[in-house]
Structure 1
Amino acid sequence: MKPLANFIMRGYSPATLVTTVAGLLSWLMPLIGIISSAAVGLVTLRQGMRAGAVLLGTATLASGLIAWLGLGSAWIGLGMLLALWLPIWGLSAILRTTRSLNLTAQLAALGGVVIVLSVHLLVGDPALYWRELIEPLRQALLADGLVDAETSQALFTRLAQWMTGAVAAALVLQYLVSLLLARAWQAQLYNPGGFGAEFKALSVGTPVGVLFVLCLAWGLSAPGLGLDLVPVLGLLLLLHGLAVVHRLHELRRAHLGWLIALYVLLVLFMPQMGLLLISLGLIDLWANIRARVAQQVSGTGKS
């Protein structure tokens, strides 16, 4: 990925090319959107808000023009500006100014909380809204004989209860992954090793842990707003847990295979591994596992 980062930093033309092409391709392959956002983040982190804003303008114009020529509508460019580029530009500007990955991650999650609150204010009962929206899918599955009526009713009702929080958490995850990728590119080009140390020290803060526990208890007792906030706050704790694992891996000088296995398991068994990492993040907020292990390692003369 370093050659791509080098190409982006050659000037506005290559940066606009990568941002625009990756952004348009994200309509077919959503994960490509991370590269598009990361390009905006890299320019903003390295050159500042003004340079990032110029890139936003050129990429929006270019994508709008391409969309107009190909599809007859330039609104796609504006949509990508609002959905892909503007949030990461803001987060990158905050990270550049504060130099605090912890604060930036918290503010990203705050954006997810605002999304959840906005949906509740605008829709009233998000679960009912999602239930009506996904009902055609349930009917199609019933018609094909893939599920029975009773099981599908319970499954889709439960799914509808989690949809608002899951969508908000997915957006926050996309922005944070794009930001972390941009930060990693910046470190590769200008400060080798800097990103690793920064990520391994990530701590989302005790208040996040407290809010997560309170919202979880609230959501389990009465599904609604509390339950919708759980995925957003849980995402921060999951990242915290990953940071703990990476730091412990470094302190214990474990084989790289352990980290690879962790990410493979995270993809294959997301709910279970996600809960495990969230629990690890919660424990570290109060027990400070990384500091304790660092003291033990230092005491034995291994660092």
Structure 2
Amino acid sequence: MKPLANFIMRGYSPATLVTTVAGLLSLLIPFVGVISSAAVGLVTLRQGARPGMLLLGTSTLASGLIAWPALGSPLVGLGILLVLWVPIWGLAAVLRATRSLNLTAQLAALGGLVVVLVVHLAVGDPALYWRELIEPLRQSLLSDGLVEAAASQVLFERLAQWMTGAFAAALVLQYLVSLFVARAWQAQLYNPGGFGAEFKALRVGSPVGGLFVLFLAWGLLAQGPGLDLVPVLGLLLLLQGLAVIHRLRELRNANQGWLVALYVLLVFFMPQMVLLLISLGLIDLWADIRARVEQRVSGTGKP
């Protein structure tokens, strides 16, 4: 990906080209949106908020001009601006100013929490909305004989209860992944190894852990908005758990294959691995596993 980062940093024309094309392609292939957002993030991280804002303007204009004849409306460019580019521009500007990945991740999660609360205020009962939205899918599965009526009813009701929080967490994850890609590109070009060290030191803060436990208890006991706030905070703890694993592998000088195995397990056994990593991140908030292992490895800790 380094050649692409080099191309983006050649000037506004290449950066606008990558941002616009990837942004429009994200309408068909959502994951391509990460490349578009990362391009905005890279320019903002390296050159500042104003150059990043200029890139937003040129890319919005270009995407609107392309979308007008192709899709019938120039407003597509405005939609991409608001959904893909503005959030990553803001996060990149904060990271550039503070040089704190911890604070930036917390602000991204705060945005996710605000999304959840806004949805609850606007819709009233988001679970009912999601239930109506996914009911045709359940009926289709029933008609094909793939699920049983009683079991599918329970399953889809539980899905509807978690959908708002899952949507907000997925949105925050996309922004953070885009930011991480942009930061990794910046490190590859100007500070080799910098992002790796930054990510391995990621700590989301003990208040996040306290709120996670509080919202989880609130959601389970009262079935209120707390249940939808849990996935967003859980995402931060998941990232901290991954940071712990990466740092421990480095401290123990373990084979890279351990990380490959971890991510393979994360793909094929996602629910179990996610819970495990969230638990690891939660424990690390108070136990500081990385510091303890570092002391043991360096010989400065207690035997």
Asked if 1:171 corresponds to 2:171, the answer is yes
- Secondary structure in 2 aligned to 1:87? helix
Asked if 1:60 corresponds to 2:60, the answer is yes
The residue identity in structure 2 corresponding to 1:197 is A
C-alpha separation in 2, matches of 1:17 and 1:270: 35
The residue identity in structure 2 corresponding to 1:174 is Q
> What corresponds to 1:229 in structure 2?
229
> What corresponds to 2:259 in structure 1?
259
Cα deviations by residue, 1:218-272 (Å, 9 ceiling, x for unpaired): 1122222111001000000000000000000100000000001111111111111
Cα deviations by residue, 1:53-107 (Å, 9 ceiling, x for unpaired): 0100011111111111212211110110000000000000000001100000000
Asked if 1:180 corresponds to 2:191, the answer is no
- Secondary structure in 2 aligned to 1:55? helix
The residue correspondences of 1:1-303 to structure 2 (distance < 5 A) are 1-299=1-299
Query: How big is the shift at 1:13?
Result: 0.4
Superposition TM-score, scaled by structure 1 size: 0.98
C-alpha separation in 2, matches of 1:294 and 1:106: 25
The residue identity in structure 1 corresponding to 2:135 is E
The residue identity in structure 1 corresponding to 2:14 is P
The residue identity in structure 2 corresponding to 1:140 is S
The residue identity in structure 2 corresponding to 1:4 is L
Conserved? CA contact 1:45–1:95, under 8 Å:
yes
C-alpha separation in 2, matches of 1:274 and 1:159: 17
C-alpha separation in 2, matches of 1:43 and 1:241: 29
What is the identity percentage for the equivalent residue pairs of Structure 1 and Structure 2?
82
For the aligned residues, what is the CA RMSD?
Answer: 1.0
Cα deviations by residue, 1:172-220 (Å, 9 ceiling, x for unpaired): 0000000000000000000011111110000000000000011111112
**Further displaced range: 138-147 or 60-69:** 138-147
5+ residue gaps, structure 2: none
Superposition TM-score, scaled by structure 2 size: 0.98
Conserved? CA contact 1:161–1:224, under 8 Å:
no
- Secondary structure in 1 aligned to 2:95? helix
C-alpha separation in 1, matches of 2:53 and 2:201: 30
Conserved? CA contact 1:201–1:243, under 8 Å:
yes
- Secondary structure in 1 aligned to 2:28? coil
Q: Which runs of 4+ in 1 moved over 2 A?
A: none
5+ residue gaps, structure 1: none
C-alpha separation in 1, matches of 2:93 and 2:230: 27
The residue identity in structure 2 corresponding to 1:173 is L
The residue identity in structure 2 corresponding to 1:273 is M
